[in-house]
Amino acid sequence: MDIQWYPGHMTKAKRQMQEDIKLIDLIIELVDARCPRSSGNPDIDELGRNKARLVLLNKADLASEEGNRLWAAAYKEKGVSVLTVDSRNKTTLKQINGIISEACKEKIERDRRKGIKNRPIRAMVAGIPNVGKSTFINSYIGRASTKTGNKPGVTKGKQWIRVSKFLELLDTPGILWPKFEDELVGRNLAFVGSVKEEVLNVEELAVLFLDFCKEKYPGVLAERYGVEESLPSPELLVGIGEKRGCLVKNQEVSTEKAAKLIMDEFRSGRLGRMTLELPSE
Ligand code: G4P
């Protein structure tokens, strides 16, 4: 499967990110909990050197609990502060302030040694498109601002949201570009819907997804669609289309409709919680 990205967007996003990063102490990097490696951007290591880092495994509600546990442990082992969250659900963000302090403890200590007291931490949210940056900012600010009663303030042309006495957040998230360095990365990003549909062949994608399900989550397709999983995936696609009445005018199965249905059911969690890649793989 050949996936195209747009170099124009990439260059602009990278330049903006390099500018904004100079202004901050902490990068809050969102990755998709279903595929943290594929949805992360290795360039952030270079861009964010000397900055505190916090990784949020977002959409954790859609990933397997075992996968979430293993990924959180893998980041911690590398010394990276990490939290699993569902950004649409404010209660999962409860622990975030504690984790931010932990991620920034070196900066707080540096300030203390220089005699600087109570300088707020400046942070930005970053991640690839569709990972949930806006959703996170809205949930987090909503919760924090009702608590502190602070209003957004303006500093040197940049909009900073005063989240609390100790944290200011850049109101526009940093857009990172995905790295399609291997086929699996492209596949995973396409599965979760982070690649524009127009550049994909949805039937081809669904066949790959059926292959994945049969191997990693055996029984799920049989249970959801009442199909025989031992069939080759292209036939399985037709079978699911039949079962679900994905038909065109002459009563023939539309594999395109079937493919869209399957991908939609996966992305919305109706096929159950699934993790696409594990740290050990
Ligand atoms: P972005 O700013 O990084 O581009 O992402 P955005 O917040 O727009 O979120 C993209 C989609 O992901 C949204 O769905 C949003 O509701 C969903 N989303 C964000 N965080 C979570 C999460 O933790 N769990 C789940 N389950 N969903 C989350 P949408 O607006 O409905 O778009 P779409 O689903 O139609 O693409």
Digit-coded pLDDT (tens) for 187-213: 999 999 988 777 789 999 999 999 999
Q: How far apart are the C-alpha atoms of 78 and 140, rounded to whole Å?
A: 26
Centroid of ligand 1 to alpha carbon of 199 (angstroms): 20
Which mutation among 39, 86, 130, 271 tests ligand 1's pocket best, with the greatest number of atoms within 8 A of CB? 130
Q: How far apart are the C-alpha atoms of 37 and 164, rounded to whole Å?
A: 31
Question: Which residue ranges have their beta carbon within 6 Å of ligand 1?
Answer: 58-59, 61-62, 86-88, 127, 129-135
Q: How far apart are the C-alpha atoms of 208 and 234, rounded to whole Å?
A: 9
* Mean pLDDT for the chain overall: 88
Cα 44 to Cα 14, 51, 68, 81: the distances in Å are 10, 10, 21, 15
Which mutation among 64, 135, 171, 176 tests ligand 1's pocket best, with the greatest number of atoms within 8 A of CB? 135
- Please list the residue range(s) of the chain that carry CATH number 1.10.1580.10: 201-267
The residue-averaged pLDDT of 80-95 equals 92
The residue-averaged pLDDT of 19-28 equals 92
Quick one: 8-171 is in which CATH superfamily? P-loop containing nucleotide triphosphate hydrolases (3.40.50.300)
Centroid of ligand 1 to alpha carbon of 175 (angstroms): 15
Per-residue pLDDT tens digits for 5-14? 556 667 777 8
201-267 placed in CATH 1.10.1580.10: yes
Closest CA to 72 of 88, 54, 87, 89: 54
Per-residue pLDDT tens digits for 101-158? 889 988 888 888 999 888 899 999 999 889 999 999 989 987 544 333 334 443 445 6
231 burial via Cβ count (<10 Å: 0-12, 13-18, 19+)? middle
- Please list the residue range(s) of the chain that carry CATH number 3.40.50.300: 8-171
